[in-house]
Each structure stands twice: as structure tokens, then as C-alpha cells.
Amino acid sequence: MTGLEAQGLSYAYGPKQALDDVSFSVAAGTFCALLGPNGAGKSTLFNLLTRLFVAPSGTIRIAGHDLRAAPRAALAELGIVFQQTTLDLDLTVLQNLSYFAALHGLSGRTARSRIDAALEQLDMRERAGEKARSLNGGHRRRTEIARALLHDPSVLLLDEPTVGLDAAARASITDYAHGLAGQGKTILWATHLTDEVQPDDALIILHRARILATGTARDIAGDTTLQDRFLTLTGAAA
Amino acid sequence: MTAYLTSLHAIVTREALRFIHQRERFVAALVRPLVWLLVFAAGFRAALGLSIIPPYQTYITYETYIVPGLCGMILLFNGMQSSLSLVYDREMGSMKLLLTSPLPRGWLLFCKLLGSTAISILQVYAFLAIAALFGITMPGWGYVTVLPALVVAGLMLGALGLVLSSFIKQLENFAGVMNFVIFPMFFLSSALYPLWKMAESSELLHDICALNPFTHAVELIRFALYVEWSGMALLWTVLAAGLFAAAALIGYDPARTRIGRRG
């Protein structure tokens, strides 16, 4: 079964082609890294996958639901961590999470127990009463990941979630996301850093609006390191 | 159904929390109409002679005349202010949370609209209370019957704010809204002078005023404050609200917009 599937996606900002006939699929319960240099089209792809934009052509299926034909069922299966923080800084962690839960129709005891569980999982429970503004970058990210998991989505999209974090926070969040894939969630992790990708991860390399390679990280790297392979691929294409 | 009510509750609460966090906004929203009422109106009292026109049954002072217009002004400014906060939400990314929720987008936008209208109405009542302290009072029941009129007028102006927010690309462009929306709407209306006065100066300006939905919102409030019915004003205000709501839905349709493009 596929967790996430895209077929023939294209998108242009005026004359500038941001995505050109992009197709890929991610098997359920897989950690898939979407690797690409800045400006490759990763954020545009995320905007299409989250239905902030609708592509003029192509189809997207999230946990089997067609995003165009059944957007609500598809979005219900989707957890999203945006590149830029989307926390309300004047509200506490708990208030931020409760607000999000309500946007997904969760309230009362159900919401409260899900929030507790999500905060517990991310080691954020004792910070529930703190204002988002007072959290450091790593803790803000954890809060956002906890929030993205509240409605128990089967697919989780993370758009460069480690930007601006120190090495320890980066490693811990990357490991956590790998663990989620082990628990059956489908993860699409956009990044431009090859050290966040493990050899067994599924990998998609996006460059200049097109997909250059798909496969496991180990197969794509071949007999060189992923970093070298990535630079060769994107350099050759440039 | 409960999912709808849950989201409504959360969105309205968030608007209220945001409002409580910005007390200056509340004060500013009150000071503006009070300056008009207590300074501007006092100065113009002598210059403007008003004849008896419905819903008034006797000669009234200019201060009394402009109270409904100033109620409309509070709703107008708040409608635009909430559109400003939507543009801000979009730049900050929190609008994305709303737009990627599995609930229908139209419903979520309506919740936003309802939340901001409720806050506007609180401010209108605070203004009416202060006006009453200065001796500018309405018939007792008027304070009750004006409520539905304020809801309709507030939703209409809030929907206009939504439309604008879907088209304004950046926060900086908001000054344009001030010049090209708030001021023309306010001055080309019956808020400050009755339309027959305007007709004496210019037929064209009178016709523009008569088409302005804000004129009808103000008249709706004016009649309701005097416990009178004005079907025409209600009809125009509701029609305008419907039109703006439809335009807002188009503006926020993911197939047509590029919301989220920035950040």
C-alpha cells in the first residue's frame, strides 16, 4: 500500500516553472527524504501536497485518498510541519495544541488525552504551560511535531524541520522522525542536508523542478558518499 | 456536527484572546469614534441644520445624528483590522493551519468572520454606553433591536475585509486599504450627513452614496436604534454581505490563489 503518491505534478509561477511533471510514491511506513538544493521546488511541492495550491494537472493521493476528489478525507490523514514556525507565540504550548485539535474537530477529554500523549512522546509535557515565545528553536519544533501528530495522521510531511537548530536538537528530531516511520507512519522529510538521510531511507532528489533520482539512499549513493553523489548529480544538472 | 461547533468555539476564543492581548486596540477603537462624537460633532453642530427625516420624529442634534454612523465606523475599522490580521497570519504562516484543516474552508472563514464581528459588537456597545454617559441616548429598546442590525452590518464589513485580505499580497500594502476603502466608504455614506444634504451639492455624489453598501449598513443601524424597520437597508446589506462572502470564497479557493507562497 502506498502512503503518499504524486502523479504528473506541474506548477509554474508565471513563466517560471517550479515543478515539471513530478511523479513519485512513498510506501506506507517508510521514511522518505526529499533532497534538493534551495530553489529546487521542495516548498512548492509541499504547498501542492497540503492543498495550499492546487496543481493544474496531475494527481495526489494521501493514504489512498485523492486530494482533489476527496480533499477533506485526504487532509485528515495528513500531519504537517511547515518550514516556518506556525505557532501563535502569545499562546501557551497547551493553547496552541488545543486550537489545532479543535481545527480537526477534537475537543474535551479526547483532545486533552491526545495532547498529553503527544507532549509526553516529545518530552514536552512540563512545558505545556509555557508561552511559545519563551521556547527555544528545538522546543518550538518539538511542539509543532507534537501538534502535527495530534489527529493521528498516517502521513507526516516535514518541510526542512531542522533549519536553525543546533546539532543535538537536529539529531534528536531526525531520529525521532525515523522512529515514527518504524511505527507505521509515512514520512516525507524535505531537506538539503545529506547527513539527515540514513542509508536505508527512501530518497527522492529534486533539482530545478524535476526529479533526478529515486530509490534507497544506499543505491543512489552507490560506491561514493551520498553527499558526493548529490553534488555530482545537482552539479551536472546545473 | 460537533466538529463544526468545536472549531467555531476555538476560532472565536482565539480571536477573543488575541483581542484581550491587545488592549491598546480596544482603546484606539473607542477613542476614534468618541473624538468624532465629542469634538467633530460639537464643532459642526451649528454648521449643519438637520430637518426631521425618518426615523427621527423631532429635531435632533448633530451628535445624535452621527451616532449610528460612528457605530458603523467601528464595524468598518474592525472589519479592515481583521483583514489586516489575516494578512499578518498569512505572512506568519498561522493561516496555513486553518487552510489545511480537513473542515470546509468556507466554514472556517465564516468562523473567523463571526469571531471578529462579535468583538466589533462589544466595542459598539462600549461606545454607545460612553455616548449615553454624555447624554446622547437612544430609546431603551433600541439598544436591543440594534443587535441584529449590528450582526448583519458587521458580517458584511467583515466579509469585505476577507475579500481584501485574499487580494492584498503584503502587509505594507495596507495603507492603500485605508485610502481607497475605509475613507471613501465612510465619507461617501450617510454616516456624517443625510443623503438629501449630499444631493443639494451633487447629484452624482448622492447616487454614489446611495449605492455604497456602507450607507445601507448605517441606515440599518440607525432605524434599528429607533426600533424601526428598514427593509430596503436590510436587503442591500444582506445582498452586499452575500456578494462579499462569495468573492472571499473565490479569493481563498486553493485553485486560484497562491496563499502560502510567501513562506
Q: Please state the domain extents for chain B.
A: 2-251
Q: Which of A198-212, B100-114, B122-136, B164-178 has the lowest mean pLDDT?
A: B164-178
Do residue A105 and residue B100 have CB atoms under 8 angstroms apart? Answer: no
pTM of the model: 0.84
Interface test with B, best of A47, A49, A50, A52 (most B CBs within 10 A): A52
Would you state the pLDDT for residue B29?
Answer: 80
Quick check: B89 pLDDT over 90? no
Q: What is the pLDDT along chain A (238 residues), one digit of tens a residue?
A: 689 999 999 998 888 899 999 999 999 999 999 999 888 899 899 999 999 888 888 999 999 999 999 999 999 999 999 988 889 888 899 999 999 999 999 988 999 999 999 999 888 999 999 999 999 999 999 999 999 999 999 999 999 999 888 898 899 999 999 999 999 999 999 999 999 999 999 999 999 999 999 999 999 998 899 999 999 988 865 5
pLDDT (tens digit per residue) in B122-136: 999 999 999 999 999
- CB proximity list for A53: less than 8 A, separation 6 or greater: A11, A44, A47, B254, B257, B258, B260, B261
Summary mean pLDDT of chain B: 86
My answer on whether omega of the bond before B254 falls inside 30° of 0, hence cis, is no
Which residues belong to CATH 3.40.50.300 in chain A?
2-77+155-237
Do residue A103 and residue B99 have CB atoms under 8 angstroms apart? Answer: no
Looking at domain A2-77+155-237, its CATH architecture is 3-Layer(aba) Sandwich (3.40)
Give the B-side interface with A, CB within 8 Å. 2-4, 6-7, 9-11, 14, 17-18, 21, 92-94, 96-104, 108, 254-255, 257-261, 263
Helix (H, G, I), strand (E, B) or coil at A43: helix
Do residue B93 and residue A86 have CB atoms under 8 angstroms apart? Answer: yes
- With cut-offs at 50, 70 and 90, classify the pLDDT of residue B20: confident
- Joined together, the cell numbers standing for residue A52 give 495550499
- With cut-offs at 50, 70 and 90, classify the pLDDT of residue B96: confident
Would you state the pLDDT for residue B22?
Answer: 77
Quick check: B250 pLDDT over 80? yes
Interface test with B, best of A65, A86, A155 (most B CBs within 10 A): A86
Q: How many CA atoms lie within 13 A of B39 on its CB side?
A: 6
- With cut-offs at 50, 70 and 90, classify the pLDDT of residue B154: very high
Q: Is the ipTM of this complex over 0.95?
A: no
Would you state the pLDDT for residue A215?
Answer: 93
Would you state the pLDDT for residue B86?
Answer: 80
Would you state the pLDDT for residue A186?
Answer: 96
Helix (H, G, I), strand (E, B) or coil at B225: helix
Chain A residue nearest residue B258, CA to CA: A53
- With cut-offs at 50, 70 and 90, classify the pLDDT of residue B200: confident
Q: Find chain A residues with C-beta within 8 A of B89's C-beta.
A: none
- The Cβ of residue A175 has, within 10 Å, a number of other Cβ atoms equal to 12
- The Cβ of residue B231 has, within 10 Å, a number of other Cβ atoms equal to 9
- Rounded-to-integer distance, Cα B151 and Cα B142, Å: 14
pLDDT (tens digit per residue) in B44-67: 777 666 667 778 877 788 888 999
- Side by side, the strands of the sheet bearing A202-207 are A78-81, A155-159, A186-191, A31-35, A202-207, A210-216
Q: For strand A65-66 and strand A57-62, is the pairing parallel, antiparallel, or unpaired?
A: antiparallel
Quick check: B180 pLDDT over 60? yes
User: Which residue is associated with the grid cell 504528473?
Assistant: A8
